[in-house]
């Protein structure tokens, strides 16, 4: 099993950038697909970006495609979400999830606020 901790959130102006980090501890992180979700105020949790276990494939939701980039380094047990050209509607709690066929782990989330 892995344990996840997100960091890097904060408050930025529209058009700004942030890089979120998801640090994993435990064994076998390179077996886990990692997904970034967000939960906007008053809304259901939504998938933002996903990266495969060895990082060869990624996918993005339509609202963030072209602005967000997910990456990972399994030697460091890290996954990142680089966010550029942030918009007020990106304001949310961002959570990372690591998943295999047998195990699912969640971080506690990090708040991103985009406001002028």
pLDDT in tens, 52-96: 999 999 999 999 999 999 999 999 999 999 999 999 999 999 999
Q: Is the model's pLDDT at 102 over the cut of 90?
A: no
Q: Is the model's pLDDT at 27 over the cut of 90?
A: no
75: Cβ contacts below 8 Å, ≥ 6 apart: none
Q: pLDDT tier at 101 (50, 70, 90 boundaries)?
A: confident
- Convert the pLDDT of each residue in 1-23 to its tens digit: 899 999 999 999 999 999 999 99
User: Quick one: which of 101, 90, 98, 97 has its CA closest to 37?
Assistant: 97
d(CA 79, CA 73): 6
Instruction: Please give the backbone phi and psi of residue 88, each rounded to the nearest 5 degrees, phi first.
Output: -55, -35
Instruction: Establish how many alpha carbons lie within 13 A of residue 107's alpha carbon, considering only the half-sphere containing its beta carbon.
Output: 27
Where helices occur in 1-116 by DSSP H, the ranges are none
Q: 50 to each of 6, 34, 42, 87, how far by Cα in Å?
A: 15, 6, 23, 20
């Amino acid at each position: 099993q892995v344990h996840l901790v997100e960091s890097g959130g904060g408050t930025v102006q529209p058009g700004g950038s942030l890089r979120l980090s998801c640090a994993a501890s435990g064994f076998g992180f390179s077996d886990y697909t990692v997904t970034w979700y967000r939960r906007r105020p008053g809304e259901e949790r939504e998938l933002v970006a996903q990266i495969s276990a060895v990082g060869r494939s990624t996918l993005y939701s339509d609202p963030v495609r072209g602005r967000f980039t997910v990456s990972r380094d399994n030697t460091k047990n890290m996954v990142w979400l680089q966010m550029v050209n942030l918009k007020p509607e990106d304001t949310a709690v961002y959570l990372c999830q690591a998943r295999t066929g047998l195990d699912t782990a969640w971080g506690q989330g990090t708040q991103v606020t985009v406001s002028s």
